[in-house]
Structure 1
Amino acid sequence: MLEAARVSQSSLPVIDISGLSSPNLSDRKAVAAKLRAACLYNGFFYISNHGVDEGLVADVFTEAAAFFDLPPETKAEVDKSRSKVNRGYEPLQGQTLEPGAPPDLKEGYYVGPEHAPDDPRVLAGMFNHGANQWPSSRPNFKPVMEAYLNVMLDLSARMMGGIALSLDLPEGYFKGYCTDAMATVRLLHYPPQAANGNPDQKGAGAHTDFGGLTLLRQGDVGGLQVWDQATGGWIHADPVPGTYVVNLGDMIARWSNDRYRSTLHRVVNASGRERYSVPFFYTGNYAHKVECIPTCLAPGEEPKYPPVTVEEHMRAMYKRTYK
């Protein structure tokens, strides 16, 4: 029940997005056409030529592996329970993504944009806005993660411009959503799943992602599985060097009235090795309202979802997966 098929690359295409940085609108629209095809199919695809420095990516994985290798008592010093804004270390089995399934067999670390105590959003109690926690035993951890966060915010905003064009919208349609955007760098460590373990337990249970876009950097150990709409079964999304796996989150589905899918995926680490991955969850401006794009409606079709702010949506999603 935890197995998946290996399929041709056409099911999960690799899209060269260098054209999104071109000054020529025709080049940007050419990339958008490929994004559109992928979003209408599984909502999962790889991107190449994204501009993120491979040296920085290597540093992120080095710091992640070193942190997770620390003694439990050291990791507990930055436990997420010490943060009011869900930042810091999340212990093994700290989250249950799949309703009715056992807790996920993974440990993680949350990093987000830094907000000072006197920031108006912090003073107003806006969800997840505040300060990060940093492990004192890893002096390079903070500068590496902050550098990576900033690079990925830029890449995600560029991708949202491509998504807008793919929906035949003005390129700046999501500008308000991308202004003062929230996002999460989430470091993840999946220990090998025991051969005689609970057959219902997974590294990450089947789920859709909460936000707008997820840009996942995988290490060299696979385990990501995607629900394939065409076959009605799970398929592998194996690591492809130098690429990101991109998938659409629930907010894109709400905006497009499910024209673009937020697809189920899960992690099953049956490799017998330690698995590390770094998803970047692009959530957007928490005050922004997400409501159905009129041009995404077919004649006579009604919106499936009521308007909601990003903050309202995220509060509901955290409540669902964290007891």
Structure 2
Amino acid sequence: MSQIPVVNLGPALTGASAGAGAAPVVAELRRALADVGFLQVVGHGVPAALVDAAYATMDQVAALPDDERRALVRPRASQRGLFEQIDGQGRVLNRALQFITYDDLTAAEADGAVGGHPDYFVPNVWPEQLPGFKATWQRYAEATRELARTLMSLFAQALELPADYFAAPFAKDVTLFSANFYPPQPADADHEDVLLVAHADSGGLTVLHQRGDYEGLQLRGLDGEWITVPVRADAFVINIGHLLSRWTNGRYPATVHRVVAGPAPADQRQSIATFFLPNVDTVVTPVPTMVGAEGSRFEPITAYDWQRQFMEKYVLTKTYAEPATA
């Protein structure tokens, strides 16, 4: 397949759990995920003004003085704060500001989300000097989480499961949000062509918006060829991660993707990713409708244990700028 499927969610948004409107959307979703594991969705209900507001806050962070921006940097293992992945010459390949659903352990405890893993709930890091920053991201986070919930309901139906099958596993979701910036690369021939190496995402669904001077997101098709994902202002890119693939017993793949540099030195790119992650104590095991005569291909694993393994194997092996010291 050389094109990314585009699915209009509009007919299903009046009630993803029932009605004739959801059925054709479910069928399209099933085909898209089975064929490539990626799709774009339109008619998703997330206001364009909210997306624009989130990008505007990213520009504000980029405009901060170096010392103020560096104060947001945290150790990469925390998945909170600002991270800068650098190449062998110390040049920034990509920059990400990340936070999760719960602001800190106190907030997680109040919602009953800790699940025996208090170490997971490291405090979020916010640029307090930017008025309205946190409020904007909280609105964006809730809007994209709601979209992810709708998609999970539709996906459950695609697996011939009840529409609310995934509601409980994501009732206390620890969704990770990542505001990503890929800066212009130098004109010399030494710069990296790949700004984010090939990988598949860790969790359930990823809901991603992208914009920029060029189309830099590529996915690897089943034939091994790289397919460029078009940039559409009205669309979110959707892909499934390793945990959701495990739920399907590997029937639906977690698609490998990467980000490449633009063709011109001045090219830059931004994206906002919502990694919809289940409750930390959710036990992920293949669903009954996906386990045939061959049995289960995967052992049960908690979302917490999987996320730790993923971090150690895929994330912490890269080189990042160190946090500022007092």
Q: TM-score range by the shorter chain?
A: 0.7 to 0.9
Per the normalisation by structure 2, the TM-score is 0.87
What is the CA distance between 1:19 and its match in structure 2?
A: 2.3
Q: Hey, what's the Cα distance between the residues in 1 that align with 2:77 and 2:121? A: 9
Q: Hey, what's the Cα distance between the residues in 2 that align with 1:243 and 1:168? A: 26
Q: Hey, what's the Cα distance between the residues in 1 that align with 2:212 and 2:181? A: 13
Preserved contact between residue 209 and residue 237 of structure 2 (Cα < 8 Å): yes
Q: What's 2:244 paired with? A: 252
Aligned identity (percent) is 26
Q: Hey, what's the Cα distance between the residues in 2 that align with 1:232 and 1:212? A: 23
Q: Hey, what's the Cα distance between the residues in 1 that align with 2:252 and 2:11? A: 22
Preserved contact between residue 122 and residue 130 of structure 1 (Cα < 8 Å): no
Q: What's 1:286 paired with? A: 280
Is structure 2 residue 313 aligned with structure 1 residue 313?
no
| Structure 1 alignment gaps of length 5 or more | 1-6, 97-101
What is the CA distance between 1:202 and its match in structure 2?
A: 1.6
Runs of 4+ that moved beyond 3 A: 115-128, 193-201
Q: Hey, what's the Cα distance between the residues in 1 that align with 2:115 and 2:247? A: 29
Of 204, 216, 221, 1:223 maps to 216
What is the CA distance between 1:129 and its match in structure 2?
A: 1.8
**CA-to-aligned-CA distance 1:30-76 (integer Å, 9 cap, x gap):** 21110000011001100000000110100101111221232321112
Q: Hey, what's the Cα distance between the residues in 2 that align with 1:144 and 1:189? A: 18
Of 17, 20, 25, 2:19 maps to 25
Preserved contact between residue 193 and residue 268 of structure 1 (Cα < 8 Å): no
What is the CA distance between 1:185 and its match in structure 2?
A: 1.6
Preserved contact between residue 104 and residue 202 of structure 1 (Cα < 8 Å): no
Residue type matched to 1:128 in 2? Y
Q: What's 1:36 paired with? A: 30
Q: What's 2:86 paired with? A: 93
What secondary structure sits across from 2:238 in the alignment? Answer: strand
Q: What's 1:3 paired with? A: none
What is the CA distance between 1:194 and its match in structure 2?
A: 3.9
What is the CA distance between 1:116 and its match in structure 2?
A: 4.5
Of 93, 116, 125, 1:105 maps to 93
Q: Hey, what's the Cα distance between the residues in 1 that align with 2:105 and 2:281? A: 19
**CA-to-aligned-CA distance 1:253-300 (integer Å, 9 cap, x gap):** 1111111110110000224312111111101211111001122123x2
Deviates more, 1:72-81 or 1:127-136: 127-136
Preserved contact between residue 213 and residue 282 of structure 1 (Cα < 8 Å): yes
Count of aligned pairs between the two proteins: 306
What secondary structure sits across from 1:45 in the alignment? Answer: strand
Per the normalisation by structure 1, the TM-score is 0.87
